[in-house]
Amino acid sequence: MARILDGKVIAAAVKQDLAMEIAQLREKEVQPKLVVVLVGDDAASASYVRSKERMARELGLEAEVIKLSADVSESELMRQIELQNADDSVDAVLVQLPLPEHIDTDWVLMGVDPTKDVDGFHPQNIGRYAIGSPLVWPCTTAGILEILERANAPVAGQTAVVVGRSRIVGWPTAQLLLAHNATVVQCHRQTRNLAEFTRQADILVVAAGQAGLIRADDVKAGAVVIDVGINRVDGHLVGDVDFDSVVQKAGAITPVPGGVGPLTVAMLMKNTVRLARIRRLTKEDER
Amino acid sequence: MARILDGKVIAAAVKQDLAMEIAQLREKEVQPKLVVVLVGDDAASASYVRSKERMARELGLEAEVIKLSADVSESELMRQIELQNADDSVDAVLVQLPLPEHIDTDWVLMGVDPTKDVDGFHPQNIGRYAIGSPLVWPCTTAGILEILERANAPVAGQTAVVVGRSRIVGWPTAQLLLAHNATVVQCHRQTRNLAEFTRQADILVVAAGQAGLIRADDVKAGAVVIDVGINRVDGHLVGDVDFDSVVQKAGAITPVPGGVGPLTVAMLMKNTVRLARIRRLTKEDER
């Protein structure tokens, strides 16, 4: 029976560490600040933003939400982002996605100052994946590393198989695992005989968005299985991994819900603190 | 016996196509121009730069070499690059590496206008690897794709194993193969049981810098083997692949020398033309 990697427990530990770190920063008169730009009144987006605000305040981070109407022009949105870029008290700028259709998302994300790019999506930041040292990794990817580290799962020299290559999860996660010296296999829709690869994985990350994609037969005994999928089946949330069968064979597994999900907002806070440290503390201060 | 993928023959075909394309561009009054910035008087660098100049002129490209002394200051080097960035007649700027030790290479490469970044090394360009659409791929990587395409080797759905993850060859090549829908395995020094992975490869790219690393036993029968290694052994140039044994088993193989090498300068020219098209032609012109 696999060890269950409980995201809520791990997120609580991350938050505890962060609260302490933020308190120490405030003693040095550094008050980390996150700004979230929210366009329109999509209920799901608004709810995500509220949970970010709530956690920020809980940890002693300053958080500000800038609400813009759904019909805001691209140039006005850009102007608001540039104000945040220019504001020295702001450490991190997050543009809540999705944006309305009349707005060019890529262009807007490129408008965020790369040193305040808390989501790690600016091309300048992605460009540093190649050398394994972006300022921050995207929140979900960072959460996966946090889970592996806190589960004491070795990464270097392990075979890591990532299923799915989305820009926000699969691809950056593969780059992060490579940066941590795993041998990395990137699988996707055009992969033939997916199971041939997944069966080789010491670490298996599944971010394909397809319920029941991975079953016990597809997993090596003892593997660490990270399920990033969120699918609604018969009114229930399930991952991409058939939990009930895989839990019998894997060495460790994240449940859905309650696995990777709870880490994401916590990692946003951690990224904010990291950007604040980089931007505001001199090497001297860090001693 | 494997088909030998002769880089000189392929490069000649690329050059023939390019000469025609450049002639057509000149009819539209577009004269593509490459500027090479050469710092110091390293003999090898100077020789590479001469071969770039020679090929450019042969194809009808304008090429200019800016020579700076080995003790040039970082700010003066930057100023020279900025002049080229600002010069509308310049399509492509290449800073010949290596730079002297007192100069921060990463910082200098970031100073090249991303739209003139003919080497594909600017973080903004690398950042577009994630979506599979950089303006250009680095020259060696682009040359590998050219070889695969001209050999009619399928890429999508194939298992591609890349050995080596350098920023200039291994890593971008893995990203390119992924962008072309291969299932990609990235191996490196910390990979255990390398042969277990290389034996799965339909396409095997070896860029490790270790003579004789890959032998017949390490290769699947019929595989396409691309050898990017250049090692000097007993006064001879050899690749990372034991050619004499692997040629008996592979389906196709690039020799060393005379495989990937001859493509690199040709791809620099092709990248220059591509940047000129993107920057100077409107959609209307491209019809």
pLDDT for position A283: 63
Classify residue B116 by its DSSP letter: G
What's the pLDDT at A284?
A: 63
8 A C-beta contact, residue B120 and residue B240 = no
DSSP label of B64: E
pLDDT mean across residues, chain A? 95
Position A34 confidence tier, pLDDT thresholds 50, 70, 90: very high
- In this model, does residue B287 exceed pLDDT 70? no
Residue A158 has pLDDT above 70, yes or no: yes
Tell me the C-alpha distance between A273 and A278, whole Å.
9
| Chain B stretch 103-132, residues whose beta carbon is closer than 8 A to a beta carbon of chain A | 122-131
The per-residue pLDDT for range A249-267, each reduced to its tens digit, is: 999 999 999 999 999 999 9
In this structure, the number of other CB atoms found within 10 A of the CB of residue A275 comes to 24
- Of A181, A123, A145, A170, the C-alpha closest to A271 is A145
% residues pLDDT > 70 (chain B): 98
Name which of A126-135, B10-19, B94-103, B141-150 the model is least confident about: A126-135
pLDDT at B178 over 70: yes
Q: What is the mean pLDDT of residues A236-247?
A: 97
pLDDT of residue A286 exceeding 80, the answer is: no
pLDDT at B283: 63
Q: Which pLDDT belongs to residue A188?
A: 97
Residue A136 C-alpha, separation from nearest chain B C-alpha, in angstroms: 14
Please report the number of interchain residue pairs, chain A to chain B, with beta-carbon separation below 8 angstroms: 78
Q: For the residues B255-275, what does the mean pLDDT come to?
A: 96
Closest CA to A214 of A234, A235, A199: A199
Q: Tell me, what's the pLDDT at A134? A: 86
pLDDT of residue A215: 98
Residues of B noted as catalytic: 52, 96, 119
Cα A24 to chain centroid, rounded: 25
Domains, chain A, ordered by start: 28-114 (3.40.50.10860), 139-262 (3.40.50.720)
B45-76 pLDDT, tens digit each = 999 999 999 999 999 999 999 999 999 999 99
The percent of residues above 90 in pLDDT, for chain B, comes to 90
User: What's the one-letter identity of residue A83?
Assistant: L
Partners of residue B125 in chain A, C-beta under 8 Å: 123, 127
List the single residue in B with minimal CA-CA distance to A126.
B127
Query: Looking at the annotation, which residues of A are catalytic?
Result: 52, 96, 119
What pLDDT digit, counting tens, does each position of A185-234 carry?
999 999 999 999 999 999 999 999 999 999 999 999 999 999 999 999 99
Does pLDDT of B131 surpass 80?
Answer: no
Q: Across the interface, which of B127, B131, B156 has its CB nearest the CB of A124?
A: B127
What is the interface pTM, i.e. ipTM, of the complex? 0.91
CB of A165 within 8 Å of a chain B CB? The answer is yes
pLDDT value at residue B124: 83
- The predicted pLDDT at position A287 comes to 54
Nearest chain B residue (CA) to A193: B157
Confidence of residue B171 (pLDDT cuts 50, 70, 90): very high
- Closest CB to A181 among B156, B178, B190: B190
Q: Per-residue pLDDT averaged across B170-187, rounded? A: 97
Pairing label, strands A183-187, B183-187: antiparallel
Q: Give which of B178, B186, B199 to mutate to test A binding, by max A Cβ within 10 Å.
A: B186
Assign B106 a pLDDT band (cuts: 50, 70, 90).
Answer: confident
Average pLDDT value for residue range A25-50: 95
Sequential DSSP letters for chain A: -PEE--HHHHHHHHHHHHHHHHHHHHHTT---EEEEEEES--HHHHHHHHHHHHHHHHHT-EEEEEEE-TT--HHHHHHHHHHHHH-TT--EEEEPSPPPTTS-HHHHHHHS-GGGBTTS-SHHHHGGGGGT--SS--HHHHHHHHHHHHTT---TT-EEEEE---TTTHHHHHHHHHHTT-EEEEE-TT-SSHHHHHTT-SEEEE-S--TT-B-GGGS-TT-EEEE---EEETTEEE-SB-HHHHTTT-SEE--SSSSSHHHHHHHHHHHHHHHHHHHH--HHHH-
